[in-house]
Amino acid sequence: MLFGILREEDHRVSVTPELAKKFISEGHEVYFEKGAGSSAYFEDSLYNEIGAVEKSREEIISSSNVLITLAPLSKEEVAKLAENTFLFSSFQPFQDASICETFATKGISAFSFDMIPRSSIAQSMDILSSMASISGYKAVLKATDYLPRYMPMLSTAAGTVPPSKVLIMGAGVAGLQAIATAKRLGAQVEAFDTRAASKEEVQSLGAKFVEVEGASDDTNAGGYAVEQSEEYKKKQAELIALKIEKADVVITTAQLRGRPAPKLITEEAVKTMKPGSVIVDLASSTGGNCVLTEDEKVVKKHGVTIIGSSNLAAEISEQASVLFSKNVQNYLKLMLTKEGLNFNFNDEIILQSCIVYKGEVIYGNEAKQKALVPAPKAEEKADAQA
C-alpha cells in the first residue's frame, strides 16, 4: 500500500520517520511532502534515508491508498482523492456529523482517532490522552510566562517569597498533568472535578481536592465531564468563586463531548482575582470555561491575563509528533498487514472508530454499524451454545 505524509498547518507531523520506516520494512511505499516534519525537527533527509520518496502535495493526495493526518483534509482536497482511499484523522463527528457526508464518495473509508473507545485496552492508541497530557504540562509553563510572581516559595536575603496558588479545574489527563507540573514548580495546588474517581488521583499527586457534593458522575463518559443539575451548578459556582479569588493561576480543562464547554468562571469571578493573575483555558475551542476567553488569543481583562488555547500540544511539536505517531502505530497494529488493511469489525476499537466505510456513512447509523460485524461461524455458534 502507498502511505502519504502531508505537511500540515499544525507544527506536528502525523507520521515520524520511525513509523514510516516500519511501513517500508513491511513492504509498503511512503510518499512525503517537502517539509512535512520540519516544524517537528524531522528533516526531509530523515525520510529520504529510510526510503520514503518526496512528492508534491497534489500527487500524494491523488495517489495514496492511506492518508494519516492530524486535521481533516479540506473538501477541495477530498475531491482529489483516489478511489477507495483510507483516511485516518481526528474528524470529531460528534461536533458536526455532516463531515461524514464529505467522505461518502468514491468508496472512501474514514476512521476517526477521537472515536477510539477510551478504555484500558485502547490506552496505547489514545491520541486524545497523549495530546491532553502535553497540553496540561504546557499550560502551567505558559502561565509562568505571564505570571508576574514566582511559583515556588523562596527564602531570599530580601525575605521569604510565598508560593503561588494554582487552581486546576477538571482533573482528567490534562488536569492531572497540570497538577503534577505545578507541584514540581513548587506551587500550592488545588483541583476541582465533578467525577468522584478524580479525588484519589488528585490527592496522590499532592494536591488538595475541592469537592462539591451532589455531582452527577458518568463512568461511561470517556473522560469527559457530564452536564450537572442547576442546583449543583449554583453550589459549584459559589465554591469556585471563593477559590478563584485566592488563586494566582487558574487552569481550566472541562469539556462536554459534542457540546459547548461548561462555563465555570464568570466575569464577576475574574474581577475578584489579584491583578497579574493568569487563566489558561484549554477548552477555548468549544467556547471556553471562562466567559471572557477568546479562542487562540491572549487577552487581558480586569487585570487578569486570559490565555485561550486548546492546542498547546502543537507547541511541543517534536514530542507530540512522537507520541501521536506511536498511538497511530499501535492503532494500525489492529488492521495493517503486509498485504494491506484488514478490518475485523468484531473488534470494538475498529468498529467504533469507523465513521465511513467504502462510501457508506457508518457514524450515527446503528443498522449499518451492525452490518459491518460478520456473522459468527457455525463452529462459533456451537461453542457458544455449549
Rounded CA gap, 218 and 224, in Å? 9
Set 64, 129, 321, 329: catalytic member: 129
Q: Which residues contact 25 (CB under 8 A, 6 or more apart)?
A: none
Residue 126: active-site member: yes
Set 25, 123, 203, 229: catalytic member: 123
Set 118, 137, 277, 317: catalytic member: 118
Set 10, 114, 126, 248: catalytic member: 126
Q: What are phi and psi of 363, to 5 degrees?
A: -60, 130
Rounded CA gap, 40 and 15, in Å? 11
CA dihedral 264→269→273→275, nearest 10 degrees, is 110
Residue 118: active-site member: yes
DSSP state of 172: S
Cell numbers placing 28: 509498503
Residue 129: active-site member: yes
- CA-angle at 86, arms to 43 and 368, nearest 5°: 150
Burial class (CB in 10 A: 0-12, 13-18, 19+), 129: buried
Residue 41: active-site member: no
Set 224, 331, 357, 363: catalytic member: 224
Length of the chain (residues): 386
Query: Which amino acid does the sequence have at 25?
Result: S
Q: At what angle do helices 127-146 and 173-184 cross, to 10 degrees?
A: 40
Q: Which residues are catalytic?
A: 118, 123, 126, 129, 224
